[in-house]
Amino acid sequence: MVLQTRQTFSRKLFDLPDHNRQILQNKNGSTLINTINLSVLTLIFLFLASWLDKAHSLPVFPHSSHQLHQSIVNENHNFIVPVAVFGKDQRKNLPRTYNKLDRSIGLLHNPRTNVLCTAFCVGPDIIATASHCLFGRRKRSKLYISSFLFKLKTKGRKRQLYSRMAGYRSSLSRQYIIAGTTRLNRKPPIGAARDWAIIRLAQPACRNSWLKTLPLSLVKLEAAARNKKVFQVAYHMDYRNWQIAYSRSCSIHRNFGGLSWKSIKKHFSSPRSLILHQCDTGEASSGSPLLMDTPRGPVVVGINVGTYQQREIIVKNGRILRRTRFKTIANTGVSAGAFSRKIAFLQQAKIITNRFELKRLQIALKERGLYLGTIDGIYGARTSAAIKAFEKRLNRASTGLATRQTLLALEKRKEAPLSSIKTSAGYEKNRLPPLAKQP
């Protein structure tokens, strides 16, 4: 019965014709399979199984944006905003002068949740993107961070560059991420200026090319935009079947839609890192870089993260009578100054993955009154917040990473030498007199 089931399965898998089935049977009509044929089929089956498993694990660019959009809508992932095109659609294919950018800008995809965002290389094994791509909305369940894949759709290469996130084998990818926030607030005060994240990859997929960051003030960004030096490169779900898109001559202002910067910045937290721009964007463009032309080539001045929308609510006697439709004022971005200094730290950090060392870290934080959770050796939000508080005490960059450097700094206790120990006044007073010398 088992042999017959195997024969039926092999015929279904390889689509064997009827005359092959008759050859496998012996003259007596029995269903015994020849040992050599069975071993060959077993090897082929194992090879196909391993190949299918590998192919499933590779990040693949979607073939149809419409089908992918339908799957996202069906799974209620409504955080993807509609296309934000201001006036005439100026998106076009990447010009030849920027043809090397496709080696640094790729697609961040989670096959388990169908989350799609743009991400870009800022180091050999470091990428940057929007924080909400990883952690989702404030009330959404976790998005299986270790399942994310990063892929570069380079031209003229037979094998495409891809990588998983560091720590994916043991589901510890969260420990290799520095994020501005993990709980994005979409209501005032809006947390768009903290919607950034940098990630360490398991493999140096960006070793061929990565982008440099340049922190600039909002005044200088406005001046660069007026000189038509600011542009955006991203993947859009509605653009030419996943071809990388180039949005030129992006405008950056502080006053939009008849609103002054004084009133706008009240709606956002950390407004100093906020960029309001009108680059034409679309779905899956969250996490894409805002670039500026320089004599040495394009540099990253910010990250596109979402849209800034407003609507009017008419209230009478405490009751809401009518709500107008949302009006898109501008797109939101994060200035490079919010994350540029943390890139080198993440690249050099020695992340703690041992549970015993994590317990030591939690104990040391608890002794200083910074950690209030349980000593379980699990890296979570409380442990990260306690590390950030300790880093703030030392005037270090706030990362929240559980590193060996932080553990050594916490456990660094130098005992004072005996010569520096002072006796108390009470001991000096009650000390016994010295013995008299014998004659």
In this predicted structure, the answer to whether residue 209 has a pLDDT above a threshold of 60 is yes
**Assigned token pair, 46:** 């194992």
pLDDT digits (tens, 9 = 90+) for 377-425: 999 889 999 999 999 888 888 899 999 999 999 888 433 333 333 333 3
The architecture CATH gives domain 350-409 = Orthogonal Bundle (1.10)
pLDDT digits (tens, 9 = 90+) for 325-364: 777 788 999 999 999 999 999 999 999 989 999 999 999 9
In this predicted structure, the answer to whether residue 429 has a pLDDT above a threshold of 70 is no
Asked if 272 and 106 touch (Cβ cutoff 8 Å), the reply is no
What mean pLDDT comes out for the span 275-285? 91
Residue type, 316: K
**Assigned token pair, 31:** 């269903």
What is the dotted CATH code of the domain comprising 65-313+325-344? 2.40.10.10
In this predicted structure, the answer to whether residue 55 has a pLDDT above a threshold of 90 is no
Long-range contacts of 292-298 (CB under 8 A, 24+ apart): 292/214, 292/216, 292/221, 292/224, 292/229, 292/230, 292/231, 293/229, 293/231, 294/214, 298/98, 298/101, 298/211, 298/231
pLDDT digits (tens, 9 = 90+) for 69-87: 333 333 333 333 445 778 7
CA-nearest of 382, 345, 390, 385 to 364 is 390
What mean pLDDT comes out for the span 24-47? 57
Q: Domain spans of the chain?
A: 2-57, 65-313+325-344, 350-409
**Fold agreement between 65-313+325-344 and 350-409:** no
Asked if 303 and 269 touch (Cβ cutoff 8 Å), the reply is no
Q: Checking DSSP bridges between strand 274-277 and strand 177-179, what pairing results, if any?
A: unpaired
What mean pLDDT comes out for the span 42-46? 67
In this predicted structure, the answer to whether residue 53 has a pLDDT above a threshold of 50 is no
What mean pLDDT comes out for the span 141-162? 74
| Residue that wins the pLDDT comparison between 322 and 393 | 393
Q: What is the pTM of this model?
A: 0.74
In this predicted structure, the answer to whether residue 54 has a pLDDT above a threshold of 90 is no
